[in-house]
Structure 1
Amino acid sequence: MKKFPNAFVIILSVILFAWILTFIIPKGNYQREINTENNRTIVVPNSYEQRNAPHLSAFDALLAIPKGIAGRADLIVLILLLGGCFYVIEKTGALNQGLNQLILALKGREVFALAIITLLFLTAGFTIALQEEAIAMTPILLLFGRTLGYNTSTIIGASYGSAVVGAAFSPFNPFGVLLAQKEAEVELLSGTEFRLVFLLIAAIVWTMYILRYASKHRVEKSALELEVIKLTTRSKIILTLLALTFGLVTYGLIVLEWGFNEMSACFFGLGILSGLIAHFGFNKTTEIYVDGFREMVFACVIIGLANSISIILSEGSIVDTIIYGLFSPLKNVSPSVSAILMMFSHSILHFPIPSYSGQAILTMPILTPLADLIGLSRQVCVLAYQYGTIMMDVIVPTNGALMAVLALGGIKYNNWIKFIIKPTVILLVIAAIAILIAVQIGYE
């Protein structure tokens, strides 16, 4: 059997496939206008029409690659600075000492440790929609996992996977649910109680699956199992600052509407300060920081390449055609069937549109009038979007964050699919049940 392609080859193959699709799928577009209330471009419902447009050349497809990388500059800066920050902290010895103490405290209670990791990332997912931020934490999490006897799939599932599950079932994901509710002209944070019930169900099922898988796939504990070293005063200060920075960033995201740049500034400051506290001096601290950049470069390139796919489909004028083809037939079936098909259509659409916030902006103005027409509440329309779209972030190879995490963990995409497909299907079934119940009770 030939060696399965790595993340770089997979993304390049999808870029080529996207370019080929621009010659096959008819070109077309919806009309768009500016919403004067929020100065946002919105799609005009029922305005789709096919049009003639020149095909993208091979050079246009190549040009999409630097455009894609440049278009994710703020995220790439965050990953570089966050990665550099963690690398500096690791070199201070604070992380190893902290892990040492944690492992000693959890000795014989590895299942409890794994459950805590899963719960923390579920919480981060449903509160601040953490996803890309997990990239820089992956090497440390894998190190921690190996010392407890857990394989790479288990740890990435418990961290990145949990964050996605939390975001998918969240009642107040700011980049998913709230944005979709705003686009659908639904009261913000409405329907929270119903979503919380199914968030709890999904979280329990997911956690049980992770723990069950982990128990069946234990690996030999890493040799890092560590001599007994007490935390030094400097290490305590550095780890305290790390915890405070995470608290500050969480507050900024929720209350102050921070973006990637504000997060980057916080972690850059933490990295420099940690090096100085460890008495590295400015020269050594910055040199170590640059070494941390090198560790993250491959992940950053993957993020940019994934963005290139959306650019090709958009410049090739076929994104709106894909949306029209997926959702137009829904008006011909009953509301219950339409709602389920809407969820799965969103799942399919997430392959060419890996940004779920972008997908909400594109689809909600089109789907809400359709929902009104077929007797489906707009709240159910949002529900179908959030479950079908966000949950696919653990599967779609066009999601740069997923491919970057897998690359850092050294997991082949085909092996990841073998691990993740079963729990994903189970959670999508739970989501479908939630949608059917929502339709029956007139969920508003």
Structure 2
Amino acid sequence: MKISFPHPLIILLAFVLLSWLATFLVSSGTYDRQIDESTGREVVIQGSYEAIEKQNVSYDEMVKAIPEGIILGADILVLILLIGGAFYVVEKTGALQVGVEALIYTFRGNTYLLLVILSICFSIAGATIAMQEEIIAMVPLLIVLSKKLNYNVKSIVGLTLGSSLVGAGLSPINPFNSLLAQKLAEVEISEGLVYRLVFFVIGIGVWTFFMIRKGKNKNSITEKIELKPSSIGWRNGLILFLSLGGIIFMGWGITQKDWGYNEMSAFFFVIGFACGLIGKLGINGTARVYTAGFGEMIFAGVIVGLARSVYLILEKGMIIDTVIHSMFTPLEGLPDQLAVLGLFISQLLIHIPVPSTSGQTVLTIPLASPLMDLLGISRQLAVFTSQYAVSMMDLLTPTNGGMMAVIAAAGIKFNDWIKFIIKSWLAVIGICLISIFIALIWFA
């Protein structure tokens, strides 16, 4: 009998149940906290942990924590819905597909430049909307591209899906990952933006180099490429311009105008509707597509809420500080580098049973942030170790349904995919670790 892996919703509900049971099994305890004048954040006071009277959570409180968690994550839920819905509209106008086809045709005479640009475009898509499932529909086009360029299809998938996932992991503005982690860690969105961008460029550069180098066949450059002409047209061109310009303008708003989640949500709501109207979807058509986009994104928002529910239950049982204390004790005597390395490896492993990016972020950041306080390390390290680990594991773990669907559609066996990308993956993991270790000094 075939056993399927549990749905992410079931996994999160299982965590809700386990967190409730933990309130009966784990001792209640608390740290004293104070306001850090330099950051304005409430931080844990080292050495102040003490056990308190057991605080059991009732069944009713456990069930009510589910909607309460979703309500607490309302700002992130809205951001996910409005940005995700906007790019869903862009996708349904056909501009994205036409843009990729025009890109391929325009640079058909320069294989290397085409592949580099392809990687850059998908890394930007990953950095902004964590594009993954959307690539499934593009697989037939990618297979044709692979044949025309005489390039290994695994390399083409690596330069699209892989670049998107690496871009999502190293991005400073991914709403499902880095922005969410910074929100939970109470870290300013603009803090370390340039630092993150530097390592985003380095990571994508290394990944692209390996994918192009590994995918080249012996006669790949000598074969003449024949592709059908593809014109973007002014409508699709304007839609793509607004989408890319919107991403750039959002970065300006974050750094120069201190934009928060509401500003970003409102901005992309306008962008999404404008693109729908330009794409001749009409007012009602744009509204229908946008709401369909909500349907595609709502699950990600609910996952965020359910993960918050886990935290609420642990908080009501007053066992969070006990868990932090048990985590801190073995790390206390370690050098900072080994402590954050241990946290990074833990995040990598956790992502196998918890395949939801936003779900894992909400589960782990509330624990990792005060742990960093106790170790005297910037909370930025809690964000880095989480966002890097989660998205990089998306390239490997079979629990990532989007990745598995893409490689299956491309006719790539899972074990062949792992063999093909593992060295490139390790190289980017090395860059992530370098970023983390430098960050220990940079954000001290």
Q: Does the alignment reach a TM-score above 0.5? A: yes
Alpha carbons 2:207, 2:424 under 8 Å: kept: yes
Distance 1:29 1:423, change over 3 A: farther
Partner of residue 301, structure 1: 302
Distance 1:181 1:303, change over 3 A: closer
Alpha carbons 1:241, 1:270 under 8 Å: kept: yes
Residue 3 of structure 2 corresponds to residue 11 of structure 1: no
Partner of residue 28, structure 2: 27
Secondary structure of 1:56's aligned partner: coil
Q: Report the alpha carbon displacement of residue 284 of structure 1 after superposing the two structures with TM.
A: 2.6
Q: Report the alpha carbon displacement of residue 86 of structure 1 after superposing the two structures with TM.
A: 2.6
Partner of residue 375, structure 1: none
Residue 333 of structure 2 corresponds to residue 339 of structure 1: no
Residue 161 of structure 2 corresponds to residue 163 of structure 1: no
Residue segments in structure 2 that go unaligned for 5+ positions in a row: 144-152, 218-225, 351-358, 409-413
Residue 373 of structure 2 corresponds to residue 362 of structure 1: no
Residue type matched to 2:374 in 1?
I
Residue type matched to 2:169 in 1?
V
Residue type matched to 2:390 in 1?
D
**Distance across 2 between alignment mates of 1:436 and 1:82:** 32
Alpha carbons 2:69, 2:309 under 8 Å: kept: yes
User: Deviation digits for residues 35-79 of structure 1, max 9, x if unmatched?
Assistant: 456543222221111212322233333222222222222222222
**Distance across 2 between alignment mates of 1:178 and 1:11:** 20
**Distance across 2 between alignment mates of 1:95 and 1:340:** 43
Alpha carbons 1:234, 1:278 under 8 Å: kept: yes
Secondary structure of 2:361's aligned partner: coil
**Distance across 2 between alignment mates of 1:13 and 1:62:** 12
Residue 385 of structure 2 corresponds to residue 391 of structure 1: no
Secondary structure of 1:354's aligned partner: helix
Alpha carbons 1:299, 1:408 under 8 Å: kept: no
Partner of residue 282, structure 2: 281
Q: Report the alpha carbon displacement of residue 22 of structure 1 after superposing the two structures with TM.
A: 2.8
Alpha carbons 2:165, 2:392 under 8 Å: kept: no
Secondary structure of 2:298's aligned partner: helix
**Distance across 1 between alignment mates of 2:294 and 2:373:** 40
Partner of residue 59, structure 1: 60
**Distance across 1 between alignment mates of 2:168 and 2:292:** 28
Residue 235 of structure 2 corresponds to residue 234 of structure 1: yes
Alpha carbons 1:310, 1:353 under 8 Å: kept: no
Partner of residue 89, structure 1: 90
Q: Report the alpha carbon displacement of residue 27 of structure 1 after superposing the two structures with TM.
A: 1.9
Alpha carbons 1:238, 1:277 under 8 Å: kept: yes
Residue 244 of structure 2 corresponds to residue 250 of structure 1: no
Secondary structure of 2:22's aligned partner: helix
Partner of residue 411, structure 2: none
Partner of residue 321, structure 1: 322
Alpha carbons 1:300, 1:404 under 8 Å: kept: no
Distance 1:229 1:436, change over 3 A: closer
Q: Report the alpha carbon displacement of residue 164 of structure 1 after superposing the two structures with TM.
A: 1.2
Secondary structure of 2:34's aligned partner: strand
Give the percent of matched residue pairs that are identical in Structure 1 and Structure 2.
Answer: 32
Describe how 1:203-214 pairs up with structure 2 within 5 A: 205-208=206-209
Which deviates further from its counterpart, 5-14 or 149-158?
149-158
TM-score if structure 2 supplies the norm length? 0.69
Alpha carbons 1:71, 1:304 under 8 Å: kept: yes
Q: Report the alpha carbon displacement of residue 143 of structure 1 after superposing the two structures with TM.
A: 3.5
Q: Report the alpha carbon displacement of residue 138 of structure 1 after superposing the two structures with TM.
A: 3.5
User: Deviation digits for residues 106-146 of structure 1, max 9, x if unmatched?
Assistant: 44867755544555676799xxxx4xx424x4444444455
Residue 136 of structure 2 corresponds to residue 134 of structure 1: no
Distance 1:383 1:100, change over 3 A: closer
**Distance across 2 between alignment mates of 1:283 and 1:443:** 48
Residue type matched to 2:31 in 1?
Y
Residue type matched to 1:306 in 2?
A
Q: Report the alpha carbon displacement of residue 265 of structure 1 after superposing the two structures with TM.
A: 1.2
Partner of residue 71, structure 2: 70
Alpha carbons 1:157, 1:210 under 8 Å: kept: no
Q: Report the alpha carbon displacement of residue 340 of structure 1 after superposing the two structures with TM.
A: 0.9
Alpha carbons 2:55, 2:316 under 8 Å: kept: no
Alpha carbons 1:101, 1:229 under 8 Å: kept: yes
Q: Report the alpha carbon displacement of residue 274 of structure 1 after superposing the two structures with TM.
A: 2.3
Q: Report the alpha carbon displacement of residue 426 of structure 1 after superposing the two structures with TM.
A: 5.9
Residue type matched to 1:363 in 2?
L
Secondary structure of 1:33's aligned partner: strand
**Distance across 1 between alignment mates of 2:38 and 2:264:** 28
Partner of residue 148, structure 1: 142
Distance 1:175 1:46, change over 3 A: farther
Alpha carbons 1:68, 1:311 under 8 Å: kept: yes
Distance 1:435 1:349, change over 3 A: closer
Which deviates further from its counterpart, 199-208 or 288-297?
199-208
Q: Report the alpha carbon displacement of residue 200 of structure 1 after superposing the two structures with TM.
A: 7.4
Partner of residue 219, structure 1: none
Residue type matched to 2:129 in 1?
A
Distance 1:287 1:433, change over 3 A: closer
Aligned residues: 396
Residue type matched to 1:147 in 2?
L
Alpha carbons 1:388, 1:428 under 8 Å: kept: no
Q: Report the alpha carbon displacement of residue 211 of structure 1 after superposing the two structures with TM.
A: 5.2
Q: Report the alpha carbon displacement of residue 312 of structure 1 after superposing the two structures with TM.
A: 2.7
**Distance across 2 between alignment mates of 1:15 and 1:62:** 9
Alpha carbons 2:12, 2:306 under 8 Å: kept: yes
**Distance across 2 between alignment mates of 1:366 and 1:178:** 19
Distance 1:116 1:9, change over 3 A: farther
Q: Report the alpha carbon displacement of residue 252 of structure 1 after superposing the two structures with TM.
A: 1.0
**Distance across 2 between alignment mates of 1:430 and 1:424:** 10
Alpha carbons 2:29, 2:49 under 8 Å: kept: yes
User: Deviation digits for residues 371-391 of structure 1, max 9, x if unmatched?
Assistant: xxxxxxx6xx77865654432
**Distance across 2 between alignment mates of 1:198 and 1:230:** 34
User: Deviation digits for residues 169-222 of structure 1, max 9, x if unmatched?
Assistant: xxxx88879998989xxxx86x97xx9998777555544555578779xxxxxx
Secondary structure of 2:43's aligned partner: strand
Distance 1:329 1:288, change over 3 A: closer
